[in-house]
A and B are shown apart, each in its own frame.
Chain A
Amino acid sequence: MDSLGYLVSGFGVATTMQNLFYCLAGAVVGTLVGILPGLGPIAGIALLIPATFSLNATSAIIMLAGIYYGAMYGGSTTSILINVPGETASVMTCIDGYQMARKGRAGPALAICAIGSFLAGSLAILGLVFLAPPLADAALAFGPPEFFSLMVFGFVVLSNVTGGSLLKSLMMAVLGLIIGTIGLDPVSGNPRFTFGQVSLLGGIEFVAVAIGLFGIAEVLDNAEKPDEVLEQRVLVPRFRELYPTLRDLKESLGASLRGTGLGFGIGLVPGPAPVLATYASYMLEKRIAKHPEQFGQGAIQGVAGPESANNAACQSAFIPLFVLGIPFAPPTAILLGALLIHGVNPGPNMIAEHPDLFWGVVASMYIGNTILLLLNLPFVPLFANILRIPKKILLPLVMLFCLTGMYSVNNFMVDLWIMLGCGALGYLMRKWAYEGAPLLLALVLGPRLEVAFRQSLMISHGGFGIFVERPVSLVFLLATGGFLLLPLFRKVARSLGRRAATVS
């Protein structure tokens, strides 16, 4: 059977009543998570993982994936309506989306977001359908050294592009790897750093770390704000018109298609793909626009491009997750954790071993995108009402949800304490400008990295040469070196430029 044949069978899986329900639930919850400022897809997926324990793996991943791309849709709502991005990938949408809302064109802006996201999501899924199987075949040739080098490459790229200091991000990645060594040694089975605690034998629960670093820390970050900030009433602008005109559609089509291409490509490489994709798309649209001066004043291309790029990147990020078993961004790292909890080990064999799950989830993405389009067009003004809940009531509710969700994972009290500890750590990390994403990614990938490292050394009888003798591994390591030296090159180039300017 070819990819299209498998996709048809995937629709059979995705259109059962049960899976349709979970797809809808994921899309709705994701939209709400995206709308709520601060509570992004990472915390949203982590919080909802316990709710999937009673489901089979396919339904669980359909729902969690729905939350992920639903949050991407929802994130644009607050950007446009109140100039507050629901999650980081919606920052670029604020620029022109909010200006459109101020001119009474919130409806068309939101509709263009929904249509652009639908178009991007659907095209990106096509890419997933046709690219994933051949990539999986190619990845079958990967051995432990290649996987090790690829993971190291992923950490370094993510650390380099998260925006903060490279050194700080690298320290966070190493810290995450160290935390990941707690529990049973994945090779020998010996307990490590458990201090006699049975509950630590399975390792530090990554959901506790994720909820702590992203959920609790966000609540604490808000709780410190003065009363006047917490009591600020959110003014949702009136919707003068709800749907875009034909001219709006025409003007945004090209931007959406370009955004889709950019987003799809960027989603395949390590890093916070949706954020980078939206930035790249906005810059591209502004550069090629006939009237670049309209950007920042409510240009519809400035909304359509980034939103499409954001969703395409989000869908193509599933390719490395499913095909290599290596997530390149924190939300897919959480999804990897969820897959492992449900007994599915993603990697080159996943499509062959779990065809129902893979093709079912892919097909559900089409359905999810359609649901989101239908949901977002007429109901956005309704969803926006969630912003009217006062923060002083919302924050305690989110805290209770974090606590309950965490306890539901294993019913271990120790997980709650770890989550609280990580919450306090996450709060301090924000104060000291340390990124949480590299830590979380390293925690999830740590055991895989260690196994790949030790297996490589076993194969080479203790020689490190194996990492540079194999061409694919060498390419990844060279690229890693390039990324590590990039800031240094930039510095040298800048100082040379300054010197040249002084001389001339």
Chain B
Amino acid sequence: MTAAVALFLFGAVTVVLSLQLPIGTLRAAGSGLFPLVLGLLLMGLAACHLLLLLRARNTAADVRTDERVSYRRVALFLGAVAAATALLAPLGYILSAFLLLWALMEILGVRPRILLLVVSLLAAGFSHLLFVQWLQIPLPKGWWGQ
């Protein structure tokens, strides 16, 4: 149900934003016409889906649920990756990569801690070698690499 409502709203926002663009005519369509049609189509499809869900009154069957999953871990994972992304420019690639690996393995509870440290160090070093040295990809160096 939540997803269908979100998609309906997304369609509505698309329609509103499209109307702010030139629509043109069918003969010479403006840049807003195609997204406008798509926005309306998405709203229509989402409305149909909502109606079907309401009629069935059984939205739970639509959702994959498992009592044993750890949503906390997923949130922590996303948080750690977001933090690493934010720190990529100031800290540089190799340090952010090390911290990211360390944080993710800590979240997953990798033990002993020495293994966690060694794997993080080796993997960060290897990926630096692979991407920066071998593939010559300009990854951020950070304040300490300047």
Contact = CB atoms under 8 A, between A and B. Distances in A.
Given A399-B81, A400-B100, A408 B131 contact: yes
Contact of A416 (B85, B93, B107): B85
B144 interface: no
A461 B38 contact: no
Interface string A169-198: 011001101100100010110101100000
B88 interface: yes
Contacts of B27: 457-458, 461-462
Contacts of A190: 21-22, 31
Given A50-B137, A397-B123, A178 B31 contact: no
B95 interface: no
B108 A230 contact: yes
B70 interface: yes
A223 B74 contact: yes
Given A226-B70, A393-B105, A413 B78 contact: no
A181 B88 contact: no
Given A403-B100, A404-B97, A417-B85, A175 B42 contact: yes
Contacts of B85: 403, 413, 416-417, 420
B73 A178 contact: no
Given A423-B78, A457-B26, A181 B108 contact: no
Contacts of B25: 462
B73 A224 contact: yes
A248 interface: no
A182 to B, nearest CB: 9
A453 interface: yes
B123 A400 contact: yes
A354 interface: no
Nearest to A191: B31
A254 interface: no
A219 B29 contact: no
A401 interface: yes
A454 interface: yes
A390 B110 CA distance: 10
A215 B46 CA distance: 27
B34 A167 contact: no
B64 interface: yes
Contact of B109 (A175, A392, A458): A392
A342 interface: no
A407 interface: yes
B80 to A, nearest CB: 9
B39 to A, nearest CB: 7
A433 B108 contact: no
A424 B28 CA distance: 38
Interface in A217-275: 219-220, 223-227, 230
A181 B35 contact: yes
Contacts of A432: 2-3, 62-64
Contacts of B108: 223, 230, 392, 395-396
A264 B140 CA distance: 45
Contact of A407 (B52, B71, B88, B135): B88
Given A192-B35, A408-B139, A171 B49 contact: yes
Contact of B100 (A175, A181, A396, A429): A396
Interface string B23-53: 0011111111111001101100110110010
Contact of B45 (A171, A223, A226, A454): A171
A303 B139 CA distance: 44
Contacts of A328: none
B65 to A, nearest CB: 8
Among B2, B73, B81, B101, the most chain A Cβ lie within 10 Å of the Cβ of B81
A433 B104 contact: no
Interface string A37-71: 00000000000001101100000000000000000
A224 B64 contact: no
Contacts of B138: 411
B63 A431 contact: yes
Contacts of A408: 131, 135, 137, 139
A428 interface: yes
A223 B81 contact: no
A424 B22 contact: no
Contacts of B101: 396-397, 400
Interface string A379-410: 00000000000101101110111011001100
Nearest to A409: B137
Interface in B64-120: 64, 68-71, 73-74, 77-78, 81-82, 84-85, 88-89, 93, 97, 100-101, 104-105, 107-110, 119
A430 interface: yes
Nearest to B124: A400
Nearest to B2: A432
30 contacts: A167-B49, A171-B45, A171-B46, A171-B49, A177-B38, A178-B10, A178-B38, A185-B31, A220-B74, A220-B78, A223-B108, A225-B69, A392-B108, A392-B109, A393-B110, A396-B100, A396-B105, A396-B108, A396-B123, A397-B101, A399-B77, A403-B84, A404-B93, A408-B137, A417-B85, A424-B78, A433-B64, A453-B34, A454-B34, A457-B26
Q: Which A-B residue pairs are the 10 nearest by beta carbons?
A: A462-B26, A396-B104, A462-B27, A185-B31, A224-B69, A392-B108, A408-B137, A181-B35, A432-B3, A190-B31
